Structure 1
Amino acid sequence: MTPIKTDLLVIGAGSGGLSVAAGAVQMGADVVLLEGHRMGGDCLNYGCVPSKALIASGKAAYAQSHGQPYGITDVAPAVDYAAAQTHVADVIAQIEPHDSVERFEGLGVRVITEFGSFLSPTEVQAGDHVITARRIVIATGSSPLVPPIPGLDQVPYLTNETLWQLRERPDHLLIVGGGPIGIEMAQAHRRLGCKVTVIEGETALGRDDPEMSAFVLDALREEGVEIAESAMAAEVSTTGAQITVTSKDGRSFAGSHLLVAVGRRPNIARLDLAKAGIETERGAIRVDDSLKTTNRRVYAIGDVAGGLQFTHVAGYHAGVIIRSALFGLPSKATTAHIPRATYTDPELAQVGLTEAEARAAHGDRLEVVRFDFSGNDRLIAERKARGMIKLMVVKGRPVGVSIAGPQAGELSNLWSMVIANKLKLSAVAAMVSPYPTVGEINKRVAGAYFSPRLFDSAMVKRVVGLVQRWLP
Structure 2
Amino acid sequence: MQRIETDICVIGAGSGGLSVAAGAVQMGARVALIEAGEMGGDCLNAGCVPSKALIAAAKAAEAQRRGFRGVAPVAPQVDFGAVKDHVAAVIAQIAPVDSQERFEGLGCTVIRAFARFTGPREVLAGDTMVRARRFVIATGSRPFVPPIEGVDTVPYFTNETIFDLRDRPGHLVIIGGGPIGIEMAQAHRRLGCDVTVIEAAKALGRDDPELAAVILQALADEGIRLIEGQPVVRLSGQPGAVEVTLGDGTQVRGTHLLMAVGRKVALDGMGLEAAGIAHTPKGVTVDARLRSSNRRVYAVGDAAAGLQFTHVAGWHAGIVIRQIVLGLPAKADTRAVPRVTYTDPELAQVGLTEAEARAAHGTALTVVRAEFAHNDRAQAEGKAKGLIKVMVVKGRPVGAGIAGPQAGELIGLWALAISARLKLSAVAGMVAPYPTLGEVSKRAAGAYFGPKLFENSALKRLVRLVQRWLP
Range of TM-score over shorter length: over 0.9
Give the Cα separation in 2 of the matches to 1:23 and 1:240: 46
One-letter code aligned to 1:371: A
Q: Using the TM superposition, give the Cα deviation of residue 385 of structure 1 relative to its aligned residue in structure 2, in angstroms.
A: 0.5
Q: Do the aligned residues in 1 keep the contact of 2:239 with 2:256 (CA within 8 Å)?
A: no
One-letter code aligned to 2:211: M
Query: Which stretch of the first structure deviates more once superposed, 97-106 or 398-407?
Result: 97-106
Give the Cα separation in 1 of the matches to 2:425 and 2:20: 36
Q: Do the aligned residues in 2 keep the contact of 1:348 with 1:404 (CA within 8 Å)?
A: yes
Q: Which residue of 2 aligns with 1:48?
A: 48
Q: Using the TM superposition, give the Cα deviation of residue 239 of structure 1 relative to its aligned residue in structure 2, in angstroms.
A: 6.1
Q: Which residue of 2 aligns with 1:39?
A: 39
One-letter code aligned to 1:26: Q
Q: Give the alignment of 1:286-305 within 5 angstroms.
A: 286-305=285-304
Q: Which residue of 2 aligns with 1:204?
A: 203
Q: Give the alignment of 1:49-64 within 5 angstroms.
A: 49-64=49-64
Give the Cα separation in 2 of the matches to 1:217 and 1:415: 24
Q: Which residue of 2 aligns with 1:3?
A: 3
Q: Residue by residue, what CA displacement relative to the aligned partner does 1:122-148 show, whole Å, maximum 9, x if unpaired?
A: 001111111111110000000000000
Q: Give the alignment of 1:205-354 within 5 angstroms.
A: 205-238=204-237, 241-354=240-353
Give the Cα separation in 2 of the matches to 1:231 and 1:153: 21
Q: Which residue of 2 aligns with 1:420?
A: 419
Q: Which residue of 2 aligns with 1:374?
A: 373
Is 1:17–2:17 an aligned residue pair? yes
* Change over 3 Å in CA distance of 1:136–1:78 after alignment to 2: same
Q: Which residue of 2 aligns with 1:434?
A: 433
SS of equivalent residue, structure 2 residue 66: coil
SS of equivalent residue, structure 2 residue 119: coil
One-letter code aligned to 1:21: A
Give the Cα separation in 2 of the matches to 1:404 and 1:357: 18
Give the Cα separation in 1 of the matches to 2:154 and 2:242: 8
Give the Cα separation in 2 of the matches to 1:336 and 1:240: 45
Is 1:79–2:81 an aligned residue pair? no
Tell me the number of residue pairs that the alignment of Structure 1 and Structure 2 aligns. Answer: 471
Give the Cα separation in 2 of the matches to 1:18 and 1:38: 12
One-letter code aligned to 1:235: R
Q: Using the TM superposition, give the Cα deviation of residue 459 of structure 1 relative to its aligned residue in structure 2, in angstroms.
A: 2.2
SS of equivalent residue, structure 2 residue 335: coil
Q: Using the TM superposition, give the Cα deviation of residue 373 of structure 1 relative to its aligned residue in structure 2, in angstroms.
A: 0.5
SS of equivalent residue, structure 1 residue 269: coil
What is the TM-score with the length of structure 2 in the denominator?
0.99
Q: Which residue of 2 aligns with 1:384?
A: 383
Q: Which residue of 2 aligns with 1:103?
A: 102
Q: Residue by residue, what CA displacement relative to the aligned partner does 1:312-333 show, whole Å, maximum 9, x if unpaired?
A: 0001101111111122222110
Is 1:29–2:26 an aligned residue pair? no
Give the Cα separation in 2 of the matches to 1:53 and 1:23: 28
Structure 2: state its 5+ residue gaps.
Answer: none
Q: Using the TM superposition, give the Cα deviation of residue 429 of structure 1 relative to its aligned residue in structure 2, in angstroms.
A: 1.0
SS of equivalent residue, structure 1 residue 154: coil
Give the Cα separation in 1 of the matches to 2:315 and 2:35: 20
In the TM superposition, structure 1's runs of 4+ consecutive aligned residues that sit over 6 Å from their partners are none
Is 1:455–2:454 an aligned residue pair? yes
Q: Do the aligned residues in 1 keep the contact of 2:171 with 2:256 (CA within 8 Å)?
A: yes
RMSD: 0.9
One-letter code aligned to 2:382: R
Q: Using the TM superposition, give the Cα deviation of residue 467 of structure 1 relative to its aligned residue in structure 2, in angstroms.
A: 1.9
Give the Cα separation in 1 of the matches to 2:326 and 2:55: 41
One-letter code aligned to 1:374: A
Q: Do the aligned residues in 2 keep the contact of 1:340 with 1:351 (CA within 8 Å)?
A: yes
Give the Cα separation in 2 of the matches to 1:175 and 1:326: 44
* Change over 3 Å in CA distance of 1:445–1:283 after alignment to 2: closer
Q: Which residue of 2 aligns with 1:121?
A: 120
Give the Cα separation in 2 of the matches to 1:283 and 1:436: 45
What is the TM-score with the length of structure 1 in the denominator?
0.98
SS of equivalent residue, structure 1 residue 409: helix
Give the Cα separation in 2 of the matches to 1:139 and 1:303: 7
Give the Cα separation in 2 of the matches to 1:360 and 1:376: 31
Give the Cα separation in 2 of the matches to 1:66 and 1:241: 30
Q: Residue by residue, what CA displacement relative to the aligned partner does 1:16-69 show, whole Å, maximum 9, x if unpaired?
A: 0011111111111111111111111000000000000000111111111111x3
One-letter code aligned to 1:253: V
Query: Which stretch of the first structure deviates more once superposed, 4-13 or 100-109?
Result: 100-109
Structure 1: state its 5+ residue gaps.
Answer: none
Q: Do the aligned residues in 1 keep the contact of 2:239 with 2:255 (CA within 8 Å)?
A: no
Q: Do the aligned residues in 2 keep the contact of 1:35 with 1:114 (CA within 8 Å)?
A: yes
Q: Do the aligned residues in 2 keep the contact of 1:231 with 1:251 (CA within 8 Å)?
A: no
